[in-house]
Structure 1
Amino acid sequence: MKRGVLPSARLTFLFCLMVLGGFWLAAAQQSPPRAADMVLHNGKILTVDANFSTAEAVAITGNQFTAVGSNRDVQKLAGPNTLVIDLQGRTVIPGLVDTHAHIHNYSENAYGKELGPEKLKHYPVDWRGVTTKEDVLNQVQSIMDKYKFKPGEWVYLENQVGFIGGGSVEHAKILYDQLNRWELSKVTPNNPVVMSLGIPDFNGFLVNDKGMEILWAKYADYIKKYGRYWIDAQGRADGHMEPPASRLLFQYLPEPAPEDMAPAYKKYVDEWNAAGVTTVSTRLPKYSVATYNLLRSRGELTLRMGYGQEWFFGAIPNVASGLKTLKNVVGSGDNSVWVTSVAPTEVDGATTRACTNQKRGVSFGTIDSWWPTGQCQTDNEFRGAAGKAATVHGNYFREWVMTSGQEGIRFANTHVAGDRSVRNLLGMIEQIQRQKGPAATQGWALDHCFLVDPTDLPLAARLKVTFSCAPKYVEGAANVAKSYGDQVAHTFMVPVKTMLDNGVRAVFESDRDVYVWHDLAILLTRKDRQGKVWGEQEKLDRPTALKMITRWAAEYVLRPDQIGSIEPRKLADLVVLDQDYLTIPAEEVANLHPQLTMLDGKIIYLHPQFSQEHNLKPKTAVIATYDDLFSRRTSQRRTDF
């Protein structure tokens, strides 16, 4: 037999294979697609795709959208086992994405009484009726006696007093001028003790002698170089500490157990699902990350969590070498829990301590006199509490930002409040881009939009910096007007329309414990709680506001290809509303009520009426009104940061 000539039997066999192969290929091409698991039809689907298209129906298979279009086309994908829901004309939107909300704190505040101080590891000091420092110290003594802490055990005392938008000057004088490390040590001689300052913990603490001794023994050079801490008339560190020095304390403070925190966290997540929120970004401590991961392992986490790792900032004495080890952290995780930044947590104070170039006409808040120029961490000079600021010789914040740019580590999830801070950061970003190119700061974002100078926005656009904006600050514009004048209040407070007109990306954040539709409505009306309009020129149209809390917000949380719009192959997160978002009066947007919320193709929330209408009672869903869920709280007081 000649080489290359096949016997007839072999030729026949190959011919049969070719025929069968062609048949199988044709069969595969003609086989019907897999039937959808769920079809929602006869609705008004606001897809928030690139063209803000509207559709009638959507199909979901597994955890993804598989078709979006007309009723006729999408219903063809329904099979005998497909769940088909007639929307009866209701509006559907993508799942909402809140880019800055401290939901772990809100959970603990709302349900903390169920846990108690021993599980929360926070021991409250009640300032109602306090008139002297002795009133405070007597309470501290009672706490130490009651809980019988082991000698050397760290104790965190949480003062039940707040100076953000409230508090009294008399209480501030007691906490800032009369109490110090030595006074606190009189009633806490055997334990290192940390006391809150009536401002967010990331802005500072009061530490007793034992605590200061531990810090200075290990970090004396660091604290002397970077500070920031207060001194008395003799030049001695008096125990009041600001960042970055105060950040060193977090590694010592006892943390709650995830098993204890999980029920409270889950209850709060239920509330946000009832509002239509399916993704949140925030900065988290380690124990909160562990708690959300515990919920996920149990199949109980019905919220995507993109978080900034907050425990590194301040705890790394050598920024240059420390950040090198974190180059690949941002973006790690999955579509349930992932890292969005490794950032400083804050670069300034809030409201009365905002870092601003504006001159106060009258007092803005209770503690103005302690921070007359704001709490400006990116200034090289430490100008902390008036007359009490120790000299520092380095700026940890600036080193962190500049090194982040050098190493390609994203800056986001960070409190930025004040035009001076914004300008300082834009200057650093510009310097980084000159040295390393635009890619070095890709995706960088400044949060809050409190006091943003519109003249800085062209530079922000050129640098491609995103702003995460909290509409809540519009409600405080009257106080800004009293202190800085009407022009600042009308033009510097959450200037989202001006941002967008300048080519700056702006996204939505709540930054408080709130029903998010209330704050979304502020973007449309610009009204405070008294009905006064602030910044008429900054009003947004409905599609733009919705993009801020969906499509554009997905970019902020580093998941633009997975969430933020209703499109084939994206993760199936959506919300069915009770009214038409696009046509109801702007003020009524605050009262929109989701009827159904879906995450990953699973129904996680149902309004009782919608559940009854459609005979829907999936095991994966919480069936209740938002008000019913809110009523479960042990504390009805909402947290405003």
Structure 2
Amino acid sequence: MKLPLAALAALLAVPVAAQEPGADPPGSPADLIVHRAKVLTVDARFTVAEAVAVSGGKIVAVGSNADVLKRKGPATRVIDAAGKTVMPGLYDSHTHPTGAAASEAGEPLPLLKSIPEVQAFVRDRAKTTPAGKWIVIRYAFPTRLAEARFPTRAELDAAAPDHPVLYHAGPAGVVNTAGLKASGVTKDTPNPRAGQVVKDPVTGEPTGMLRNAYGVLKGVPGGGENLTAGQKRAALLKLFARYNQLGLTSIADRNAGRGDLDAYLALQRDNALTLRVNVARGFNPIGTRDELARRFDDLPGADGRGGPTGAGDEWVKIGPIKVFLDGGMLNGSAYMREPWPKGPTYQVTDDAYRGLLFIPPEQLKVLAEEAARRKWQLTAHTAGEGAMDVLLDAYEFADRMTPIKDLRFCITHANFPSRNNLERCKRLGVCADVQPAWLWKDGHTLLNVLGPARMRWFQPYKSWLDYTTVGGGSDHMLRFDPLDATNPWHPWLGIWVALTRNLERGGVLEPTEALTREQALRLYTINNAYLHHEERLKGSLEAGKLADLIVIDRDYLTCPVDAVKDTRVLLTVVGGRVVWEAK
């Protein structure tokens, strides 16, 4: 029989018991069969099938209508999908869910698109903020402002002369005069380890630009500290529901503390999780070998759920440890091979400034060696090509002591691989999680700053796949809106950017690095599963894998390329259970 989508959702929502892959006896009746569909399996041959059968929350058959319907039994529910496209649920390899959820738990965050808008927001906040109290704008990247530059200290002064103001853009940010005075920052303030209190080259006075130096500030609020546990939980559930609406069935939290892990485990205990979470454990990389060893030993915790890599189950699983090796591309602090050009975008005044390296190379080698010895996967925030050189040196060092290929050491962001570094990744089995939305949002400004020759190797997806496995992620940090968030987490935008390499302000960056439809879909499904040692469980629609699938409103393989970014998800199913249904 042929049923409307609402009826399809109702039938798929029937709860089923948990079951391990392959536990279903061969030929036994399925709980559910969806047929007359265009099923993009994303298996090794990218097979396009007609039907799929589900039992016990797992896929038990994929193939032709006739073959799959052989699994029909007296109690099997049979659904006619009427030609709709079915594919694996999508996977975002880089999110920060607890912070993103908390960011708008109280009120929506402003979307500031120019320096006058920044000033207007600060003036408005100054009217209701007691004098002397901080006004903070968080994760506002200058590459996305109309002026394509940081606001200056003077511009922040003009907006709020009596309030300390911080314009925060990740590792780098600008403070106004009141903020410097309130914190006692002067021309004599020394640079912190791996950071800079930028001084005027003529007067020696602080310019207001701080790079990895927020520790010199006093009294800056952390953000989100006024939320109750119940509010944080509600916000997280709201965010996960939004993720489901765009087809996400798995995410990776790319820098989780124990509290974040416990939040996911609590939702799992209450049967409230609507997607699967791979948890990267944030790790302090600085210290002696013995200190690092004790930190590794402490990570699992008394319950054993905190590590090592692979600990957990199909709902909440531990991934790599995560460290921060350098700064960021979007704030001019990534560690590059060549100096950053001087200019107002990032307020660079030093001819020799190459960015910031947070971990000394020898320290990084010790960390990589200890991680490999304990069978922990390791990933490092690595934005600049100079930082990638240092990271791969450390990975090669660890590999000589303990082979790392099977551990799948990773590079997070990996914006500028060279041909030589791609060859090193292939040899070591190193993979990467990349953020296509950065190419869309920030490629134009970076092209103007760095020039075409240096930007040739910015996020070269096709070249990456010629050597190793990379997966697509968002680095979602703030806001719920999938397009206006910092950073945009809309997976269909990411897929479309991988297909077109279009820039938001016009133009195309290095079209030879664009992916095919098949490659771009793999980027957000099976590739991300591989990054997290989960490719045997999910990422494709194959017998024995988890029944995580979506139904979409268009033919992904044949629709016009610009229609991909507007894809609507009609149904999202996780473990055989409907978690989202379009009305």
Instruction: Give the TM-score taking structure 1 as reference length.
Output: 0.69
Q: Secondary structure at the match of 2:251?
A: strand
From 228, 239, 242, the counterpart of 2:212: 242
**Residues 437 and 596 of structure 1: CA distance in aligned 2, closer, same or farther (over 3 Å):** same
Alignment partner, residue 630 of structure 1: none
Aligned pairs for 1:154-553 (under 5 A) are 158-159=136-137, 162-166=140-144, 171-173=151-153, 198-200=168-170, 228=195, 230=197, 242=212, 254=225, 256-282=227-253, 283-310=255-282, 312=284, 318-326=291-299, 328-345=307-324, 347-351=326-330, 352-361=332-341, 363=343, 365-369=345-349, 373-378=353-358, 380=360, 399-412=366-379, 414-439=380-405, 442-475=407-440, 476-489=442-455, 491-501=456-466, 503-511=467-475, 512-553=487-528
Give the 3 Å change call, closer, same or farther, for CA 516–239 of structure 1 in structure 2: closer
How far apart are 1:360 and its partner, in Å? 4.3
1:177 & 1:406 partners in 2: Cα distance?
52
Q: Which one-letter code corresponds to 1:128 in the other structure?
A: Q
Structure 2: how far apart are the matches of 1:326 and 1:599?
Answer: 29
Q: Which 10-residue stretch deviates more, 41-50 or 352-361?
A: 352-361
**For 1:79, what is the secondary structure of its paired residue?**
coil
> Matched residue of 1:198: which SS?
strand
Which secondary structure does the structure 2 equivalent of 1:598 belong to?
strand
Letter in 1 for 2:292: V
C-alpha separation between the residues in 2 aligned to 1:170 and 1:131? 15
- C-alpha distance after superposition, 1:153-209 (max 9, x if no partner): xxx97435734425687844369999xxxxx9x999xxxxxx865122x66899999
Which letter does structure 2 place at the counterpart of 1:45? V
In structure 2, do the counterparts of structure 1 residues 197 and 342 end up closer, same or farther at CA, with 3 Å as the change threshold?
A: farther
Q: Are 1:364 and 1:479, in contact at CA under 8 Å, matched by a contact in 2?
A: no
Q: CA deviation at 1:587?
A: 1.6
On the 8 A contact 2:364/2:391 being kept in 1, the answer is: no
Distance 1:522 1:450 in 2: 15
CA distance in 2, matches of 1:245, 1:92: 50
The amino acid that maps onto 1:56 is E
How many Å separate the matches in 2 of 1:61 and 1:379?
49
Alpha-carbon distance change, 162 to 424 in structure 1, aligned in 2, over 3 angstroms: same
Considering fraction of residues, name the structure with more helix.
Answer: 1
Equivalent residues of 1:401, 1:428 under 8 A apart: yes
Deviation of residue 569 (structure 1)? 1.2
Which amino acid letter does the alignment assign opposite residue 388 of structure 2?
V
Residue 38 (structure 2) aligns with: 44
Q: Following the alignment from structure 2 to structure 1, what is the Cα–Cα distance between the partners of residues 520 and 82?
A: 25
Aligned position for 1:389: none
* Contact 2:321/2:378 (<8 A) preserved: yes
Give the counterpart letter for 2:384 in structure 1: G
Q: 1:292 to 1:208 in 2, by over 3 A?
A: farther
Q: Distance in 1 between matches of 2:552 and 2:337?
A: 43
Q: Deviations over 1:434-477 (max 9, x none)?
A: 232335x7211112232333342111211111021211232222
CA deviations 1:4-26 (Å, max 9, x no partner) are xxxxxxxxxxxxxxxxxxxxxxx
Name which one, 1 or 2, has greater alpha-carbon Rg.
1
Question: Who is 2:48 aligned against?
Answer: 54
Structure 1 position 405, deviation (Å): 3.7
Q: CA deviation at 1:306?
A: 0.6
Task: Say which SS state the counterpart of residue 415 (structure 1) adopts.
Answer: strand
Q: Confirm or deny: 8 A CA contact 1:243 1:314 kept in the other structure.
A: no
Pick the aligned partner of 1:599 from 563, 574, 577. 574
- Say yes or no: does 1:563 pair with 2:563: no
- How many Å separate the matches in 2 of 1:112 and 1:395? 44
C-alpha distance 56-130 of structure 1, shift in aligned 2 (>3 A): closer
Cα offsets for 1:267-311 (capped at 9, x unmatched): 221121111110011222444333333333332210111121226
Provide the aligned C-alpha RMSD in A.
4.4
Matched position secondary structure for 1:309: strand
Q: Secondary structure at the match of 1:576?
A: strand
**SS at 1:510's partner residue?**
coil
CA distance in 2, matches of 1:602, 1:42: 20
Q: Distance in 2 between matches of 1:227 and 1:362?
A: 20
- Choose between structure 1 and 2 for higher RCO, CA contacts under 8 A separated by at least 6 residues: 2
Inter-CA distance 73–372: structure 2 relative to 1 (3 Å threshold)? same
Work out the CA distance in 1 between the residues paired with 2:275 and 2:351. 38
CA distance in 1, matches of 2:532, 2:226: 26
Cα gap change, 1:374 to 1:401, in 2 (>3 Å): farther
Tell me if the contact between 1:449 and 1:495 (Cα under 8 Å) persists in the aligned partners: no
Give the TM-score normalised by structure 2.
0.76
Verify the 8 A CA contact 1:64 1:601 in the aligned structure 2: yes
Deviations 1:470-497 (A, max 9, x none): 11232222222222221322x2111011
Amino acid at match of 2:323: P
Is the 8 Å Cα contact of residues 227 and 245 (structure 1) preserved in structure 2?
Answer: no
Say if 1:348 and 1:374, in contact at 8 Å, map to a contact too: no
Report the identity percentage: 23
3-state DSSP of counterpart to 1:40: strand
Q: How many residues align?
A: 518
Q: 8 Å contact 2:369–2:402 — kept in the other structure?
A: no
Change (3 A) 1:573 1:353: same
SS of residue matched to 2:274: coil
Change (3 A) 1:510 1:435: same
Aligned equivalent of 2:18:
none
**1:600: Cα distance to partner?**
0.6
SS at match of 1:165: helix
Once residues 561 and 170 of structure 1 are traced to their aligned partners in structure 2, the CA distance between those partners, rounded to angstroms, is: 45
Q: How does 1:100-139 map to 2 (within 5 A)?
A: 100-113=94-107, 128-129=119-120
Cα distance 1:131–1:47, how it changes in 2: closer, same or farther (>3 A)?
Answer: closer
* Distance across 2 between alignment mates of 1:47 and 1:510: 24
2:15 match: none
Alignment CA distance shift 1:177-1:423 (3 Å) = farther
Deviates more, 1:571-580 or 1:302-311: 302-311
Secondary structure class of the residue paired with 2:413 = strand
